[in-house]
Amino acid sequence: MSDWYLKFVDEEQAQEVLYTPVYAPDPLPESYVPVPYNGWFVNVRVVSEDPEPLLPFSIDPQPYPIRIWA
């Protein structure tokens, strides 16, 4: 299992690569202040799939906003 931090040009490009969206309904903490960045960011957890198609979109999560993994 591995966690991936991905950046796409927009949601359409992300959908083309990821195919099946899964939305987590967890609310953000009240103290969380979003900071705008260009691009469409997606966090995924790869369990048994081949992660190679995600490599071109992989980024270092810093300095982007915090990510909370369950």
pTM of the model: 0.46
Please give the sequence-ordered ranges of beta strands (E in DSSP) within the chain, or none if there are none: 2-8, 40-46
* Structure tokens given for 4: 């991936």
The size of the chain, in residues, is: 70
The residue among 44, 41, 30 whose CA lies nearest residue 64 is: 41
More confident call, 68 vs 58:
58
Question: pLDDT by residue (tens digit) across 20-54?
Answer: 656 665 666 676 676 677 888 888 888 888 889 99
State the average pLDDT for the chain: 78
Supply the pLDDT for residue 69. 60
Supply the pLDDT for residue 56. 93
What is the distance between the alpha carbons of residues 5 and 42, in angstroms, rounded to a whole number? 6
